[in-house]
Structures are given as C-alpha cells and as structure tokens.
Chains A and B, each alone.
Chain A
Amino acid sequence: MFYREAGDFKKTYSADNQTFPIKIDRVGYYLALVVAFLVIPFVINDYWANAILLPFLIYSIAAIGLNILVGYCGQVSLGTGGFMAVGAYACYKLMTSFPEVNIFFHVILSGGITGLVCVLFGLPSLRIKGFYLAVATLAAQFFLVWLFNRVPWFYNYSASGQINAPERMVFGIPVTGPNTESWATYLFCLVFLVLSALIARNLTRGMAGRKWMAIRDMDIAAEIIGVNPLKAKISAFAVSGFFVGISGALFFALYLGAVEVGEAFGITKSFLVLFMIIIGGLGSIFGSFAGAAFLVLLPVVLKVVGVDMLGWPTDIVAHLQLVIVGGLIIMFLILEPHGLAQLWRVAKQKLRLWPFPH
C-alpha cells in the first residue's frame, strides 16, 4: 500500500540507475543516516557504545571487506583475523612513529598496507581454488599472528608484548586512548563505515564488481569473455584487504585500546566475520550490515536472556551460543543460501504487491 514505485518517474539514466530507485527506500536511507549522525550521538552511553554500536560498526566494515572477496569474487578466505591484525599493527606503528599526523590518515594508510599484504597472500589464488584456497589463507592467519607475536619491532619492544593505543585527537577531541567519550568514537567509526559502504556499493555495481562476479560465477568462462583473472582476483584481494585493514585498525585503536594479537585476532575472528556474511548474505552490502548486526546482537541477547533473566551460569550460555550460531549457519545454508539480505528482498517484493497480490 505504501511501498510503491508507481508515480516515481525517472527522467535521467543516472536517476534510473541509482542505488535506491524506490522513493520510500531513499527516504528510509536518508532517515537512517540522519538518525545515525544526528540522534544517536546525543543519546549514546558507554554500555550501548561498547556492547553493541562500536562492534557493529567495526564488524560491518570487516564484513563488507570480506563480502567483496567471498561474496562478490568467490575467493573464500579464512585469514580475516590475520588481516585485521595487520591493520591494527600498521595503525599502531603509524600512530607511534608519526604522532603529528591525524589518526584519520593513519587508519586509511593501515587499510592500504593491509591491502598490500592481502594481495601478497592472494597471489596463490591464481593457481588454487575453492577450499584449497580457503585452507591456504589459513597460512596467512597463523603466520601473521605468529609474526606479530614474535617480532618485537611490531609492538615497539614493549615488555608485555601488547600494543596500546596512545591518545590521538580529531578536531581537538580525543578518539583513542583512555579519555574518550563514546559519542566521539562512535562518530569516528560511523564516518568510516558510511564511506566504506559507499565505496563498496559503487565498486560492486560498476565495472570492477561485474568482473568479480564473472570470476565468481565461472572463472574460465569469465576469462574467455575477456576478464583478466589476475587483475580481477588481485583487485578483489586488495579492496577487501583495505576494508578489513580499516576495521582492524578501528577495532584496535578505538574499540579495544589494548591488543594481544592471539586473543583479539585469532582464528575465531576469521570465522566470526565469515559467519556474518553467510548469515547476512553473500554478495550483498546490506547483508554485511545485517549479518554484523545479527552476530553482534545475538550474544548480547543470549546473555540478557540466559544469564540475567534465567540466571544460568555464563559458560552454559557461551556453549549454547556456539550451538545456536552453528545451527543457524546450517539453517541459513539450507533454507536461504543468500541470507538475511535475500529475506529482505523477498519481503520487499511482497510489500510491493501487498495487500492485493495477483
């Protein structure tokens, strides 16, 4: 009844091609942006920021990055944790080596560095495919974590082997270090998320994205019609690494503040982000958001229901969480291999005809 495209006439080609061609979608999108930028910063508190909003924003960036690689280009990677660690350590080294530069540029640069590392580990993807590649990316995961543990230069020879984010300002307001306010860190991450989503969305519907999807759907056929697999795969690894690196840098500098690499960026992190995009929807930017939101909220909800309301011990709830996440993954793969994003699409399709389907 309300969700209609009737009467919304497009007069130019670009208007017809925009991301949200339906007016109500567009309005919703701008409304979401307004709420995110102008309302939430005023009502946010530490609990909401640390338990839900910051992890959601940061994991969304990681999920977008991984989705480009897995969902759009079809190269399964289990090295996300390792690549996030690259972002975190690059950011730390940049922050401590060039304290006068704004942290904004540090984060972007660490994304770039991660992109390069990602390309390096992506090179074998030209020869190996499918789960062979998935296992090969485990090499990145374990090697990188080991490297950051063992080479003291990376953690500036600190005695604990940890890295700690020093205090850095943006416009005179601290965004890292111990004296931050939750709204400042929230806004900082939000800016990165919005930029990442914009870039990713526009890349994936342009030439680059179409090449990636051609490679994903059938690489030999893509090669025959003139897609250069080297360029397509390497660019997917680079772009994916860029976003994952940014999320790693933010995860370390703004969210955790202090990082021990094996704990923060272990193999479980790789799986977590992979699950986000499976549940959210492979090959969908919206799916990255949905999956991240789902897997960030699930433990919180389970904890509230299990520990606070039912009074169960925390370890049982933690185990239940594994069972539920694993079960959900299987359920989604069976019922809806395209995840929450596809459910959303189906719902919208239904809404267009509601209440008078043919």
Chain B
Amino acid sequence: MPEQLVFAMEVFTNGLMSGVLYALVALGFVLIYKASGIFNFAQGVMALFAAMTLVGIQNGQVPFAHLINAIFGTHVHTFGWNISSAFALILTVGVMILLAWAVQRFVFRHLVGQEPIILFMATIGLAYFLEGFADLMWNSEIKTLTFCLPGELCLPQGMNLAIDDAAYNAWGVGFFIDNLDITATLVAIVLVIALVAFSQYTKQGRAMRAVADDHQAALSVGISLNFIWVLVWSLAGFVALVAGIMWGAKSGVQFSLSLIALKALPVLMLGGFTSIPGAIVGGLIIGVGEKMFEYCFGIGQCFGGVINLGGATENWFAYVLALVFLVFRPQGLFGEKIIERV
C-alpha cells in the first residue's frame, strides 16, 4: 500500500475520532434544545467547569482559595487530601445538578416565553459568568486530568501500539491512533445508547420527550416543566462532564476547552438542532472534513500540493462548511423542516 494512502487513512481515522469528541459536546446542546428550545451557548463552558470541578475535587483544592486569601490575607490552597476519581466523579455530578437547578431557578424561569434569540444571548451571558466563576473557584492554571476508576482502570494515554504494529506488519508504515480517542469513542457510544434508552424507556424520559413535543400539552397532562428542565440541564451537565473529561485528558483542563466546544456549533448546524443522530453524524463529518481539508489543502499533501493554504485551516473550516451547507439546506441534515407562518 502506498505510504500516502496510509497517511490519508490515518488522518481520516483520527478525524473520525475527534469528530466523536465534537459530537459529545453537541449532544448536550441537542438535549437542551429539544426540551426547552434554548440554544445553550454555555455548553462548552459547562464542560470546562465540570472538568475543572472534577480536578479540583480530586486534588482537594479549596474552592475560591484565591479570593479567600485576597480578602482575609490567609494562605489556604488545598485541604491536603486526594479523593479517588470515582468519588470525585459522583461529587462533580452533584455539582452539575446543583448548577442545573440554579440555572433553571435564577435565569430561565424568569425568561419563559421570551424570544429564542433573547434566550440565546442569555446563555452567552451565562457562559461568561460560568467561565469567570470557574476561574475564581478553581483558579485558571492549566491542570492535567488523570482519571482512574477503581481497579486501575485509568484513561489511557499515548498511541495504540497494537494497531501501529499491525499496520507496520501489513503495509510497512506505522499507523497512529491515540488510545484516548478509542476510549472516547467507546464512551460516546455507551453514552448515546444510555441516553436513547433513558428517553425511550423511562417515565422521566417519556416526560422529557413530551415536553420537547409541546410544552402546553405536556403541562396539561401533569408533567412538571420545571422538573423536566432541571432534569434536562442536569443531563446536559453530565454530558458536558464526560466531554470535559475526554477533552481535558487529551489537552489539559484549560480555557481553550470552551473554545473547542464552539466547534460543536457547526456540528449542530450540519446535523440539525433537534436530532441526536444528527449531532453524531454532523460531528463525524466535521471531524473528518476538517482533518482531511487541513491535510489536503491546509498543508498541501494532496494533488501534488497544488493548493497550500499554509495550515491552521481547522480554525475556520467547520464554520465555513456549515455556512455553505446551510445555504442549501437551512434545517440541517436531520432537522425538522422549518415551517413559517405569519
């Protein structure tokens, strides 16, 4: 097999894997959008917040240590203990549920019935608030995230040697796949199956779908909108936590995490805001698309390097693709048809 082709395949596979990570973030958007019609811009920052909280709890950081020190002139930084990942995970889920409740109680309960664009801007405000809050709470240093479940089940790092060896034996060229990406893919599959099962087979899940269909009809059959919305935001918080763990383990827990999550927006536009399969397919398309585009035209590896844009096309490719795509199909691949009435 020619070397070029193997490289291209490698890029393709890695694109698929990073697409899975985009899809993970996008999932959280879809959940909230379906149930409440809110386009939650803060999903990325929620992932950052979740990851920071997890690391902070693991390392026994004192919340708001900097602020406390500044006000009272003390020097507290850590409690001096380390908490196991599993327990920290449970605590973090608790924090995310609390956050969901607070968001619902203090922000969106007051904005019921407003135009979608107002809600959207409120979530931008929420994103800023959360970002500053997370930095205040856990300070803004870049943190490394190591996550181990009981029984030495850690998130793996580095490349997968087995695949590399197999490829080397077969084609004489190595094949790089990050172990973490494989794990992330598996986790994402499990998560999606769990979410689908939840929304299909449990009482709360059915109520959630009813709310997504029609708020007023759901209210009239006795479903509590407030409860469902808190539930949905908690679910989105949980998805954000998973995405935050995966991204955080990949590139460190830092501010850029919330920027990567911006990439989930074009994913959604491709897939349609209301479709979970759409989020996944959109994520894969964007992931593969931007990696292949960068490989082919960004650094000029295809067609004899006729087009070489000088790299870093990943910054904008996803958005431009979504923009061009939307002009032809405004509701996305799997979105519901937009019907407009006066």
Residue ranges of A at the interface with B (Cβ–Cβ < 8 Å): 74, 76, 124, 127-132, 134-136, 138-139, 141-143, 145-146, 149-150, 218, 220-221, 224, 267, 271, 274-275, 278, 310-313, 315-316, 319-330, 333-334, 337
Contacts and interface: CB of A to CB of B under 8 A. Distances in A.
B301 interface: no
B127 to A, nearest CB: 7
A142 B124 contact: no
Contacts of B39: 131
Contact of B122 (A143, A271, A330): A330
Given A319-B132, A322-B129, A322-B131, A130 B316 contact: no
B319 A139 contact: yes
Nearest to A312: B70
Contacts of A76: 117, 120-121
Main secondary structure of the interface of B (DSSP, over half): helix
A314 to B, nearest CB: 11
Contacts of B135: 315, 319, 322
Nearest 8 pairs between A and B by C-beta?
A322-B132, A326-B129, A329-B125, A326-B128, A139-B319, A323-B132, A142-B316, A143-B316
A143 B326 contact: no
18 contacts: A131-B117, A131-B120, A135-B322, A136-B269, A142-B315, A142-B316, A142-B319, A143-B316, A150-B310, A271-B128, A319-B133, A322-B132, A323-B129, A326-B129, A329-B124, A330-B126, A333-B114, A334-B107
Nearest to B131: A322
Contact of B342 (A224, A310, A319): A224
Contact of B114 (A267, A326, A329, A337): A337
Contacts of B121: 76, 274, 278, 329, 333
Contacts of A274: 121, 124
Contact of B265 (A138, A310, A316, A321): A138
A18 B319 CA distance: 44
A142 B263 CA distance: 11
Nearest to A278: B121
B152 interface: no
B128 A132 contact: no
Contacts of A267: 259, 262
A123 to B, nearest CB: 8
Nearest to B107: A330
B130 interface: yes
Nearest to A317: B70
B66 interface: yes
Interface string B301-315: 000000001111101
Contacts of B323: 124, 136, 139
Contact of A146 (B312, B340, B342): B312
Interface in B91-142: 107, 110-111, 114, 116-118, 120-122, 124-133, 135-136, 139-140
Nearest to B320: A139
Contact of B125 (A131, A313, A319, A327): A327
A156 B136 CA distance: 42
Contact of B131 (A124, A135, A326): A326
Contacts of A312: 70-71
B266 interface: yes
Given A322-B135, A326-B129, A337-B114, A134 B120 contact: yes
A135 B330 contact: no
B269 A322 contact: no
Given A220-B340, A316-B67, A316-B136, A330 B315 contact: no
Contacts of A319: 132-133, 135-136, 140
B153 interface: no
A54 to B, nearest CB: 24
B122 A333 contact: yes
B327 interface: yes
Contacts of A134: 117, 120
Contacts of B129: 322-323, 325-327, 329-330
Contacts of B132: 319-326
Interface size class of B (residues with CB under 8 A): 35 or more
Main secondary structure of the interface of A (DSSP, over half): helix
Contacts of B340: 220
Given A136-B326, A150-B310, A319-B135, A326 B127 contact: yes
A275 B136 CA distance: 21
Contact of B330 (A127, A149, A324): A127
A128 B140 contact: no
From A139, A224, A320, A328, residue with most partner B Cβ within 10 Å: A139
A135 B312 contact: no
Nearest to B338: A129
Contacts of A138: 262, 265-266, 319
B286 to A, nearest CB: 12
B328 to A, nearest CB: 8
Contact of B116 (A130, A323, A334): A130
Contacts of B259: 267
B117 A130 contact: yes
Contacts of B327: 124, 127-128
A218 B342 contact: yes
Contacts of B133: 319, 322-323
B136 A326 contact: no
B298 to A, nearest CB: 10
A254 to B, nearest CB: 28
A326 B130 contact: yes
Nearest to A78: B124
B70 to A, nearest CB: 4
B170 to A, nearest CB: 37
A333 B125 contact: yes
A267 B259 CA distance: 10
Contact of B128 (A139, A220, A311, A329): A329
A329 B132 CA distance: 14
